[in-house]
Structure 1
Amino acid sequence: MISINNLTYEIGARALYDEANWHIKPGEKTGLIGANGTGKTTLLKLIVGELMPTSGTISMAKGLKIGYLNQDLLSYHSEKNILQVSMEAFERQNELHDQIEALLKKLETDYSEDILHKLSDKQAEFEALDGYNIEYRAASILAGLGFDEMDQQRQLSEFSGGWRMRVMLARILLQAPDLLLLDEPTNHLDLPSIQWLESYLQAFEGAVIIVSHDRYFLDRVIEKTVESKRGKLNVYAGNYSFYLQEKAQREEIQNNQYKNQQAKIKQEEKLIERFRAKASKAKMVQSRIKALDRMDKVDAVDDYNPTVNFSFRFSKQSGRHVKTLTKISKSYPGVPILKNTEGLIEKGDKIALIGANGRGKSTLLRIIAGADTDFEGQAESGHNVTQTFFAQHQLEALHLENEILQELQAFAPKHTETELRTILGSFLFTGDDAFKKIKVLSGGEKSRVALAKALTADANFLLLDEPTNHLDIQSINILIQALKQYEGTFVVVSHDRYLLDNVANKIWYIENQQIKEYPGSYQEYEEWRIAKENKQTQKEESKEKKPKKEKKKTTSNHSDKKMDRERQSFSLNKDLERLDNEITLAKKELEDIEKELSNPAIYQEEDKLSEVNDRYTKKKSKLSSLQEQWEVIADKILELE
C-alpha cells in the first residue's frame, strides 16, 4: 500500500531520518512510537505530502485515500453546526443532494424527459452511495465521541478546542479512508470516548497508523509497533506490550555484542601498541589497524528508561483529614454540576477523579484546591495541610526568560543546586539542558518543567489536572515513578488508564451530581463497573421479556440461563484472546523460519535444510490448527450473542 525506501529527511545539518525503510500493508494497525523529537509527526507529514524528503522515496498505491488527524485541524472554522461539519466527509453525496434538489426545483416548471432522466440517474447514484443514511451515520459517530442530540445542532465555533478536535475526528472517520493517520487522537477525549474509539478502530477495515502516548489505547488497537529511533524505523510484530518484551531481548543481545566487541577492540589495541615500534611487525600492525577501521561497530544500548532517583520531602505531615467537603452544590447557568454532596480525603489517599467530560471533574478539583470559591457548602482543609495545584494553565505561569534551573531555584529555594539538577535529570533535562530558556521549550518540555516545580513544592497534598497532556510515554513513566514515591496525599484527574492503574488506591467519580467513591485500584473499579452495567442490562432485559403474570421461578430460571450464557461468553472470549496471542507468536516464528530459508547458504547444507524444512512444515500445520480453533470459538461466541 505504501513503501518508504531509503528515506532521508534533514533539518539543517541534522538528519531526522537517515535511509529509513518501512512497508505499510493494507489493513495493518500500527503504533508509531519514539521519544519526543524523533520525528513521528514529521513522518506523518511526509506520508501525506506536506513535507518533501531530502532523498529517498515514499510510493503508494494509486487512488489511496488517506485521512489525517493532526493538531493543525484546530484552526478550522465554520459557522455550520457540527452535524453538518461532520457530514462534509460525504463530498459526492452532498454534491448529488444539491443537484437532486436543483432538479426537483426545475421539475416544478419543466416536465421534460431530459430532466426526469437526469433526476433518476442522480437519485440512483445517491442511493447506491447510501446517501439517505449519511446523517444517521454522522450522528452515530458524533454520539460515540460524546455529543448528544442538542450538541449536534450547535455551531462548531461554540465549542472549545478539544471538542472541535473531536468533530474533526468524526469527519475523518466518516470518510472511511484506506489509511488513517492519527496524531495523538486521545489527547482531547475522555475515558468513555477513548473506549468507544478503541472499539471503532478494532472493527475498522482499513490501515491505521497511530502516534499516541496512551499505552493502554495502543495495546487494545494496534497489532504492529514501529519505533522511530536514531533516524531509523524499527519494526516489532506486536502491540506495545509485545514491543517492550521484544525490545528488552534485542537490547540484551545488542549489549552482549557490544561488550564482546569492545573487549576484542581493546585486545587488538593492546597488541598494536605493543608491536608498533618494531619494524619487523610493521606489516602486521598496519593490517590490524586497517581491520579495526573496517569493523562494523556495534552501538552501545541507549538508556531510554531513566529512573527517579530522588525522594520528595515536605517539612510537616498533615493531619488525618486532609480535605472535608460538606453539602457542596455547584452549577453553571442551566447546568447543575454538584448537588448537596459530601466527600472526605484522608492522609495517604491516592485518588483518581474520573468520568466523562462535562460531569464536573475539573470543577470539583478546583473547589478542593480553593481555586473556585463560587459554590454552596464548605470545603475545609485539615491540620497542617500544605498543597500545590498543577493544571495546564501552570504552563502559562512559567517565566519565559528564565533558564530551567533558574525557574526551579526561584520556586524551591530550600533545595540545593545539586538536588534540583538531579530532579531535572529525572525529568529528562540533563547536562546543559538545565540552562535552556523556557521560551525555547516545546509544549511537552514545558509540561515537564511545570511538573518538576509542582513535585518540588514543600507540599503534602498534590492536585493534578491532566498532568499527562503533552507528555510522551517515557515522561509519563517518570511521573508514575514520582507519584509512587510521593508519601503525601494526592488527587489526579487524567484519562491515561496506565497512570491511574499504577498510582491510585481510590476512585472518585460523579454520578447524579453526587461524589461517589470506589475503594480500590482503577482496574478493580473497571471490572466492578462492567459487572454492574451487565447486571443492570440483564435486569432491564428481564423486565422487558417478563410476562405480566410470570412467576418468580420463571424469572429466576431466565436469569440463570442468561448468567450461564454470560459465563460461557466470558470463557470463550478468554480462549479467543489466548488463541490470538498464540497465532501472533506462531506467525512470528514462521516468519523467522522463512528468513532462514531465504538465505542461499542453507541450500549448501542438506541436513540443515531438511531440519529447517521440517520445522517450517510443523509450524505451518500448527498455525493452521490454531486458526481453525479460532474460527470455531468465534462461531460459538456469535451463537451465544
Structure 2
Amino acid sequence: MLIALQDITFEFGARTIIEDSSWHIVPGDRVGLIGLNGTGKSTLLRIINGEYTISKGSINKSKDLTIGFFNQDLLSFESDESILSVGMTAFEKAVKVEKELEELTKKLETSEDEALLMEYSEKLHEFDILDGYNIRHKTATVLEGLGFSTSDLERPYNQFSGGWRMRVLLAKLILQQPDVLMLDEPTNHLDLPSIEWLEKYLSNYDGAVIIVSHDRYFLDRMVNKIVELYQQELHHYAGNYEDYEEEKSLRRELQQRAFENQQDYIRQQERFIERFKAKASKAAQAQSIMKRLDRLERVEQVDNGPSKIRMNFSVDKIPGKILCTLNGVSKSYGPIKILENARAEINRGDKIALIGANGKGKSTLLRVIDGSDSYEGDRQPGHNVVTSFYAQHQLESLHLDNEILEELKSCASGNTEMELRGLLGAFLFQGDDVFKKIRILSGGEKARVALAKVIISKANFLLLDEPTNHLDMNSVDMLIDALGKYEGSLVLVSHDRYFVSRTANKIWEIVDGEIKEFDGTYTEWEEWKKRMAAQAQPAKAEKEKKSAPAPVQQQKAPVDNTLKKELQKQQRQVQNLEKQLGDLKAKVQQLEADMANPDIYADKNKFKSVESAYKTASAELAKAMAEYEAAFEKVMELEEKAQG
C-alpha cells in the first residue's frame, strides 16, 4: 500500500468537496481520476500531495514515499538556464555531487592536501553510484521524446512558450521517478507524437500513476482503474474509461430498477396504511408498517447528470462543390519551409483532420486556407463559401467590455436568449456566469466564448484549431454530436484522438512540405500506418540482404578445406583474446585497488597517474571484449557452415 485515504472529508468554506470517502493506492495502479469540471479533482490531488488538510478521516502514506505532481501551477517557475540543465535538476543529488567535484578539482590544482584527495575519491565513487555519468543522456532522451530537437536542449528555459515550458517540467518530473506520479491534464501541452511517446513511457513506469484528463483515448490506453468524484463521493471502477462507461451504465440501470421496485413497494404499503389505519383490527399492523417504512433505507433515483444541451450549427448558404483549392502553394518562415509547392482540394462534405507534430505548420496551413496569412502560389476559394475560423488568435476579436451573453447577441444570429443561454451552459457558463464581462475571463473561458460564436455563425465552412482544449468530456461529446450533424465542411487541428476519430472523414498530414491526404477515418488511418510499417520491414530486410556480400558457396571440397582453415584461425584468435581479456581484467582490478590505497591517493601526482592508467586499461578492456564477442560470433557462424 502506497497511500490510504480512509473516510476523508474536505470542505472549502461551506462547500463540501469530498465526504466520508476512501481510496487505497497500490504499486502498479494506473488510475484515471474523472468527474465534471468543478467537482474537485485537482483539489483531491492537492489533498494527496499534502497541500490541503482534511477535516475528517485519515491519510496514511508508506515510509519515504515520493510524490510527483504535474499541474498548471508549475508555470510560475522561472529560469535562465538551458532546458537540459533544468531537466537535469531531477537528479538533485548527482548534480550536487558533480558541482562538489568541480570545486574539489579546482582546489586540487593548487593543493595536494591528503584530506582533499580522499574526499575527491569518495565523491567520484558516490557520483558513479548515482549514475552521474548518464544523467545528461537520460535527460536529453526524455526531452527529445517530448518533442524538443537536439538543438533546443541548450536554449534557455525562459525563451520557450508556456506549453513548451510545461513539457520541460513534465520531463523533469518523469526523470525524478517518484513512487506516485500525479498528472493533471498532461496531454493539453503535447502534440500527437509526444502523447504517443508518453504512453509508451508510462506503460513501463514502475510507480503508481494518477491521471486527470479529458482525453478519453489517452485514458483508455493508460489506466487500469477509474475513480470518479461524483456528488462528493469517490466511486471505484475496474478497467479503462470504456470499461467504466459500460459498468456505470449497468450500475445505473440496476439502481433505477431497484428504485422503481422500491417505489412500487412503498406505494403498496402506503395504500394499506391509508386504507386500514382507522380500523381497530388493522391499526396495529398499519402502525408497524409505518415504522418499517420509516426505517427503510431508501434507494436514490438515478441522477442523469448535467442535461445534454443540443448544439446546432445552422447553415444559411449551400456552397459549390469545391470550397478551396491550393495549387503550388509555398510558405516559409525565414529558412524554415512549412509548405513547398503543396497542392490540395477541399470538397463539400469534407471533414478533414490535420494531424502531426507541433512545428509542422498545421495552424499555418489553416491560416493559408483562410487567406489570413501570406503565401506563394495559387489559392482559389469556392463559390458561396462562408468561413468561420476558431483559433487562439481569434480571441482578439472579442469585445472586452461586453458581457458573455451580450457578445453572442451581437452576432445577430437570430437565436433567442434562452437558446444562447443553453448553448453557453454547454460551454460551462452556468446561471449568472453569462453576465460576466469578457475582460475578466481567463484565457480558457475566452476560448469557449469564441467557440460558441463559431457555432452560431451559420458558416458553411469551419476552420477549427484545437477546439476541445478548454472543454470537459460532456461538452466535447456535445460538440462531436453537433459536428456529426453539421451540413457544412470543416478542417480541424486537434491532438484529441477521440475527438478526431469521431468527427473526421479525411486525414491530412504535412510531410516534407507537401499535404498528404488519406481518405478515411482516424482509426482507418492508424490501421493503414501499421500495415505500411509492417510491409516496410520485409522490404528493408530484403534491401539489406541484397546489399550484403554474397554467401560463400559450400558445394565443393576445396571450399570445405578453406572453411576449416578459416575456422581454425578464428578459434586461435578467440583463445588469444581470452588470454588478453584475463590479463586486462587483472590489470583493471589491480589499478582499482591502487586507487583505493591511501598511500597513492594521498599523493596527487601518483593518484592522477593511476587514474589515467585505469581509464586507459578500462578502454582497452572494453575494446578487447568487443573483439572477443565478434570473433566468437564468427566462430559460431563458421561452425554452422562447416556442419551444413
For normalisation by structure 2, the TM-score amounts to: 0.80
User: Which residue type is aligned with residue 314 of structure 1?
Assistant: V
For residue 75 of structure 1, report the CA deviation from its aligned partner: 1.7
User: Which residue type is aligned with residue 24 of structure 2?
Assistant: H
User: Which residue type is aligned with residue 380 of structure 2?
Assistant: E
User: Which residue type is aligned with residue 340 of structure 1?
Assistant: N
Alignment of structure 1 residues 219-238 onto 2, 5 Å: 219-238=220-239
Q: Deviations over 1:56-75 (max 9, x none)?
A: 22211111111111011112
* Counterpart position of 1:267: 268
* Counterpart position of 2:329: 328
Contact 1:308/1:482 (8 A) holds in 2: no
* Counterpart position of 1:525: 525
* Counterpart position of 1:30: 31
1:155 maps onto 2:136 in alignment: no
CA distance in 2, matches of 1:63, 1:491: 50
CA distance in 1, matches of 2:452, 2:530: 36
1:508 maps onto 2:514 in alignment: no
CA distance in 1, matches of 2:395, 2:47: 30
Contact 2:413/2:456 (8 A) holds in 1: no
Structure 2 gap ranges (5+): 552-644
For residue 93 of structure 1, report the CA deviation from its aligned partner: 0.2
When residues 368 and 276 of structure 1 are mapped into structure 2, their CA distance, relative to the original with a 3 A threshold, is farther
1:139 maps onto 2:146 in alignment: no
Q: Deviations over 1:276-310 (max 9, x none)?
A: 66687666555444433333222222224754546
For residue 266 of structure 1, report the CA deviation from its aligned partner: 3.0
Alignment of structure 1 residues 415-494 onto 2, 5 Å: 415-424=415-424, 426-427=426-427, 446-494=446-494
* Counterpart position of 1:360: 361
For residue 90 of structure 1, report the CA deviation from its aligned partner: 0.4
CA distance in 1, matches of 2:166, 2:69: 12
CA distance in 2, matches of 1:424, 1:285: 52
Q: Deviations over 1:168-193 (max 9, x none)?
A: 00000010111100000100100000
* Counterpart position of 1:255: 256
For residue 404 of structure 1, report the CA deviation from its aligned partner: 4.5
When residues 412 and 132 of structure 1 are mapped into structure 2, their CA distance, relative to the original with a 3 A threshold, is same
Contact 1:144/1:196 (8 A) holds in 2: yes
1:240 maps onto 2:241 in alignment: yes
User: Which residue type is aligned with residue 505 of structure 2?
Assistant: N
CA distance in 1, matches of 2:291, 2:166: 58
User: Which residue type is aligned with residue 212 of structure 1?
Assistant: S
For residue 202 of structure 1, report the CA deviation from its aligned partner: 0.1
1:200 maps onto 2:176 in alignment: no
User: Which residue type is aligned with residue 204 of structure 1?
Assistant: Y
* Counterpart position of 1:387: 387
Q: Deviations over 1:579-637 (max 9, x none)?
A: xxxxxxxxxxxxxxxxxxxxxxxxxxxxxxxxxxxxxxxxxxxxxxxxxxxxxxxxxxx
Moved more, 195-204 or 331-340: 331-340
CA distance in 1, matches of 2:14, 2:121: 61
Contact 1:306/1:478 (8 A) holds in 2: no
Contact 1:444/1:472 (8 A) holds in 2: no
Contact 1:388/1:457 (8 A) holds in 2: yes
When residues 415 and 152 of structure 1 are mapped into structure 2, their CA distance, relative to the original with a 3 A threshold, is same
Alignment of structure 1 residues 573-584 onto 2, 5 Å: none
Aligned-partner SS, 2:53: coil
* Counterpart position of 2:102: 101
Alignment of structure 1 residues 363-374 onto 2, 5 Å: 363-372=364-373, 374=374
When residues 164 and 264 of structure 1 are mapped into structure 2, their CA distance, relative to the original with a 3 A threshold, is same
Moved more, 328-337 or 175-184: 328-337
Q: Deviations over 1:301-346 (max 9, x none)?
A: 2224754546432121000110112222111123221122121111
* Counterpart position of 1:377: 377
Alignment of structure 1 residues 81-96 onto 2, 5 Å: 81-96=82-97
User: Which residue type is aligned with residue 366 of structure 2?
Assistant: L
CA distance in 2, matches of 1:294, 1:341: 75
User: Which residue type is aligned with residue 205 of structure 1?
Assistant: D
User: Which residue type is aligned with residue 82 of structure 1?
Assistant: I
When residues 262 and 402 of structure 1 are mapped into structure 2, their CA distance, relative to the original with a 3 A threshold, is farther
Contact 1:447/1:471 (8 A) holds in 2: no
* Counterpart position of 2:167: 166
CA distance in 1, matches of 2:218, 2:369: 30
Contact 1:427/1:478 (8 A) holds in 2: no
Aligned-partner SS, 1:196: helix
CA distance in 1, matches of 2:276, 2:445: 52
Contact 1:307/1:481 (8 A) holds in 2: no
When residues 371 and 294 of structure 1 are mapped into structure 2, their CA distance, relative to the original with a 3 A threshold, is farther
For residue 18 of structure 1, report the CA deviation from its aligned partner: 0.7
Structure 1 gap ranges (5+): 552-641
CA distance in 2, matches of 1:55, 1:464: 46
User: Which residue type is aligned with residue 67 of structure 1?
Assistant: G
For residue 86 of structure 1, report the CA deviation from its aligned partner: 0.2
CA distance in 1, matches of 2:538, 2:39: 49
CA distance in 2, matches of 1:371, 1:506: 23
For residue 248 of structure 1, report the CA deviation from its aligned partner: 1.0
Highest CA radius of gyration, 1 or 2?
2
* Counterpart position of 1:20: 21
CA distance in 2, matches of 1:65, 1:310: 45
User: Which residue type is aligned with residue 205 of structure 2?
Assistant: F
Q: Deviations over 1:108-128 (max 9, x none)?
A: 232233222211211111111
CA distance in 1, matches of 2:448, 2:178: 36
Q: Deviations over 1:6-32 (max 9, x none)?
A: 111112211110111100001211111
CA distance in 2, matches of 1:429, 1:135: 46
When residues 5 and 379 of structure 1 are mapped into structure 2, their CA distance, relative to the original with a 3 A threshold, is same
* Counterpart position of 1:117: 118
Q: What is the root-mean-square deviation in Å for CA atoms of aligned residues?
A: 2.5
Aligned-partner SS, 1:364: helix
Aligned-partner SS, 2:264: helix
Number of residue pairs matched by the alignment:
550
User: Which residue type is aligned with residue 375 of structure 1?
Assistant: Y
Aligned-partner SS, 2:189: coil
CA distance in 2, matches of 1:129, 1:250: 50
Aligned-partner SS, 1:135: helix
Q: Deviations over 1:383-427 (max 9, x none)?
A: 110111111344565456655443332224312334435544555
CA distance in 2, matches of 1:193, 1:478: 27
Q: Deviations over 1:76-101 (max 9, x none)?
A: 11001101110000000011111111
When residues 90 and 310 of structure 1 are mapped into structure 2, their CA distance, relative to the original with a 3 A threshold, is closer
Aligned-pair identity in percent equals 54
CA distance in 2, matches of 1:330, 1:513: 9
For normalisation by structure 1, the TM-score amounts to: 0.81
When residues 314 and 296 of structure 1 are mapped into structure 2, their CA distance, relative to the original with a 3 A threshold, is same
When residues 62 and 106 of structure 1 are mapped into structure 2, their CA distance, relative to the original with a 3 A threshold, is same
Moved more, 375-384 or 309-318: 309-318
Alignment of structure 1 residues 336-355 onto 2, 5 Å: 336-355=337-356
Aligned-partner SS, 2:169: helix
Contact 1:389/1:463 (8 A) holds in 2: yes
* Counterpart position of 1:215: 216
* Counterpart position of 1:56: 57
CA distance in 2, matches of 1:301, 1:439: 39
When residues 400 and 25 of structure 1 are mapped into structure 2, their CA distance, relative to the original with a 3 A threshold, is farther
For residue 438 of structure 1, report the CA deviation from its aligned partner: 5.7
Aligned-partner SS, 1:301: coil
Contact 2:310/2:478 (8 A) holds in 1: no
